[in-house]
Amino acid sequence: MTTASFDRTLAPVNQLVSEFGEQVITPDDPRYESARTVYQGVIDRRPAAIVRARDAEQVARIVTIAREHDVDLAVRGGGHSSAGHGVCDGGLVLDLADLNKIDIDVAGRTAWAGGGTSAGDYTTAAGEHGLVTGFGDTGTVGIGGITLGGGIGFLVRKYGLSIDDLLAAEVVTADGAILHTDADTHPDLFWAIRGGGGNFGVVTRLKFRLHELPSIVGGMLMLPATAETIQGFAEAAEAAPPELSAIANVMAAPPMPFLPEDQHGKLVILAMMCYAGGPEDGERALAPFRALATPLADMLQTMPYSGMYPPEEDDFRPVAAARTMFVDRIDRAAAELIVERLGSAPAPMVATQFRVLGGAMAEVSADATAFAPRTSRIMVNLAAIYENLEERPVHEAWVEDYVAAMRQSDHAAYVNFLGDEGEERIRAAYPNGTYERLAKIKAVYDPTNFFRLNQNIPPAS
């Protein structure tokens, strides 16, 4: 940080300390290292201060101070941004972790939750009443961040995206105003935050629809991975009823204690599966997957939906070269490509993840929300996980080449999984006029592009 930028940041930090006291974490605070750390291991940024707001009024004040002093403001929910947008160098971080209050209306089947609430905490609280809202596949992700980008998780085929259950939100805009938005109040803003990311303000509270789901049939199923079983898994997932959503990870088998040693390191399909219904129907829906090959591990069982979010390691920070994309099909050629690429990768750990979509997600019109790729059939994520940061160019080149080989006709992107990949890829997340419509709304609510540390959509001129 230059002397000029330091001097520019010093004044707002002093003002924040004066107004918010111990809620402000500076580099000399013992909490600083932990507070600045985010999920992605390649991100190592040092903000001038981190401020933990407790309500919307405090968020509005922090936004105003940052704007008046013209300093960068990163907004952190769960800290899982692939591009590391929840932290910045030299600027301010607005940490929403303390905005985590959950109010459940059991009779009305709705819930209000703070923007910093984790998906796991929300799911546990709702599950106590036999109710669910679908978020992603990781419990520590913040519901605000995942919802703003769409929300593809274990219930996507049954109940759609997280935004499809979003009924209203409280948003602090760039001018420090606190707005309520829903289908009737600031409808343009409500349309934009359902898929348009953090471009339009800080979402401090969200109101969701809840679905009655006292139990699911789900968990982990591990199968040997061959071109035949990979293709078969994808075909079975497409043929499955919409109650079944699955996330298949094709990877080398980790040394799990329940696996025989001779299976460690061999290519497997590690699938997380969720049938949103009763046990008998669930067993029928899961039978085609079990029939693909003798399972190496079968942990599918009837359980509460919260069981899909097992405990996570607090210090797990993967260093990875990763890309997200959509494909039209995983046929034999695509399956053979997956096996070949994973078997010849330079990284010590590589994975190809695919999720067959459709169902409720595809039943919503593409222009009903800012999430446009409604009819994309299969989402694929490619990753090379490594340790030595000096090797990054090698692994980035490998994953780029893999993407090019895997590419089919669908060139859209899922904004929540984008890294720092440039404007072209951001535009790919918002096809068919969606980007241009978002830019016009951005010009209304953030004309100076104050909220720019995100997958940014500049305001239309």
Mean pLDDT of 6-17: 84
What's the pLDDT tens digit per position in 124-163?
999 999 999 999 999 999 999 999 999 999 999 999 999 9
How high is the pLDDT of residue 8?
A: 67
With b meaning 16 or more CB within 10 Å and e meaning fewer, what string describes 102-127? eebeeeeebbbbbbbbbbbbbbbbbb
Please state the length of the chain. 461
Mean pLDDT of 285-310: 97
Question: Would you place residue 312 in the very low, low, confident or very high pLDDT band (cuts 50, 70, 90)?
Answer: confident
Does the pTM surpass 0.85? The reply is yes
Asked whether the beta carbons of 269 and 225 are under 8 A apart, the reply is yes
In the chain, DSSP finds a helix count (H) and a strand count (E) of: 13, 19
Question: Would you place residue 3 in the very low, low, confident or very high pLDDT band (cuts 50, 70, 90)?
Answer: very low
What's the pLDDT tens digit per position in 168-200?
999 999 999 999 999 999 999 999 999 999 999
Kindly tell me if the per-residue pLDDT of 7 is higher than 80. no
In 161-266, where do the E strands start and end? 166-172, 178-182, 202-209, 211-212, 216-224, 244-252
Kindly tell me if the per-residue pLDDT of 315 is higher than 90. no
The C-alpha atoms of residue 447 and residue 461 are separated, in whole angstroms, by: 9
What's the pLDDT tens digit per position in 222-237?
999 999 999 999 999 9
The C-alpha atoms of residue 190 and residue 184 are separated, in whole angstroms, by: 9
What's the pLDDT tens digit per position in 368-415?
999 999 999 999 999 999 999 999 999 999 999 999 999 999 999 999
Q: What average pLDDT does the structure give for the chain?
A: 96
Angle in degrees, 0-180, between the axes of helices 227-239 and 332-343, rounded to the nearest 10: 130
**C-alpha Rg value of the chain to the nearest Å:** 22
- Please list, in sequence order, all residues whose beta carbon lies within 8 angstroms of the beta carbon of residue 437, skipping any fewer than 6 positions away: 370
Kindly tell me if the per-residue pLDDT of 362 is higher than 50. yes
What's the pLDDT tens digit per position in 239-277?
999 999 999 999 999 999 989 898 999 999 999 999 999
Domains of the chain plus CATH, in order, are 3-95 (3.30.43.10), 102-213 (3.30.465.10), 216-417 (3.40.462.20)
* Ramachandran bin of 320, using left for φ above 0, alpha for ψ from -120 to 50, beta for the remaining angles: beta
Helical ranges in 160-205 per DSSP H: 187-193
The C-alpha atoms of residue 383 and residue 343 are separated, in whole angstroms, by: 13
Amino acid at 402: Y
The C-alpha atoms of residue 259 and residue 358 are separated, in whole angstroms, by: 33
The C-alpha atoms of residue 156 and residue 135 are separated, in whole angstroms, by: 8
- Please list, in sequence order, all residues whose beta carbon lies within 8 angstroms of the beta carbon of residue 265, skipping any fewer than 6 positions away: 252, 253
Helical ranges in 223-379 per DSSP H: 227-239, 279-290, 332-343
CA distances from 334 to 103, 224, 331, 384 (A): 46, 17, 5, 18
* SS3 assignment, position 388: coil
CA distances from 389 to 5, 171, 319, 386 (A): 28, 38, 8, 8
With a pLDDT cut of 90, the percent of the chain lying above it is 94
Phi then psi dihedrals of residue 429, to 5 deg: -75, -15
Kindly tell me if the per-residue pLDDT of 4 is higher than 60. no
E strand or H helix that includes residue 380:
strand 378-385
Q: Name the β-bridge partners of 105.
A: 110
What's the pLDDT tens digit per position in 40-82?
999 999 999 999 999 999 999 999 999 999 999 999 999 999 9
The C-alpha atoms of residue 133 and residue 166 are separated, in whole angstroms, by: 9
